[in-house]
């Protein structure tokens, strides 16, 4: 019973923090599906990653906040802040996830596990034979609460994103990947430094202070796949 009581207190505290979170309120105001949009926004504004005419692949796209942000960045300037006006996007977004995904206008979505060869082939087909200018990954495992196991699962997802980037990213392209700052983090930084010419760790303001979440950005492949 003590454990259940503690759990209820933790859940109540989390819910209270969530409701009062300024980024949650801002996401609701601006029509984003999740506060995560502002994490990518901050990273993009720091590094100037998203440019008109690009092909961007969004790995682990659900619920869609990152795809929404990318879609608004590619919207014609006359579309306004919401990016809801008609007009061909100045760029292409291909998104994939295991989960259901409510469509985002202008985003080509594929449901499936891109580790599966058939799904990967479909994903590459949606890319139209082109390499991506930018690959973004907000993928995270279902957490068990066992730190070592969760770190291993997260590392595996990061390795998958890096492997995908090595095969399907332009030599001058960039990869943005969510990681956990903890066990195994230094090995993931090492992996990025082995694969990319420039590596930048970023902890966006929209990422909660209590969270171990941070992001690694790799700029420019060291060798073309």
List the catalytic residues: 178
Token pair of 164, please?
A: 């995908």
Torsion, CA 48, CA 50, CA 54, CA 60, rounded to 10: 130
* CA separation for the pair 134, 165 (Å, rounded): 9
CB 162 within 8 A of CB 195: yes
Residues 106, 100: contact at Cβ < 8 Å?
no
Integer Cα distance of 175 and 38 in angstroms: 17
């Amino acid at each position: 019973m003590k454990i259940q009581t503690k759990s209820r207190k933790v859940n109540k505290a989390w819910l209270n923090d969530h409701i009062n979170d300024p980024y949650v309120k801002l996401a609701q105001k601006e029509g984003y599906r999740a506060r995560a949009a502002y994490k990518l926004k901050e990273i993009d504004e720091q590094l100037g990653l998203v440019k008109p005419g690009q092909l961007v692949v969004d790995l682990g796209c659900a619920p869609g906040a990152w795809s929404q942000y990318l879609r608004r960045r590619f919207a014609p300037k006359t579309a306004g802040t919401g990016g809801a006006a008609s007009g061909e996007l100045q760029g292409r977004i291909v998104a994939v996830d295991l989960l259901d995904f409510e469509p985002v206008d202008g985003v080509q979505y594929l449901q499936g596990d891109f580790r599966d060869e058939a799904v990967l082939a479909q994903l590459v087909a949606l890319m139209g034979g082109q390499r991506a200018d930018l690959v973004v990954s907000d993928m995270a495992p279902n957490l068990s609460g066992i730190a070592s196991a969760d770190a291993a699962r997260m590392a595996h997802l990061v390795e998958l994103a890096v492997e995908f980037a090595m095969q399907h990213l332009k030599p001058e392209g960039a990869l943005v990947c969510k990681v956990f700052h903890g066990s195994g983090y230094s090995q993931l930084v090492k992996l990025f430094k082995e694969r990319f010419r420039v590596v930048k760790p970023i902890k966006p303001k929209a990422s909660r202070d209590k969270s171990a979440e941070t992001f690694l950005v790799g700029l420019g492949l060291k060798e073309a796949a």
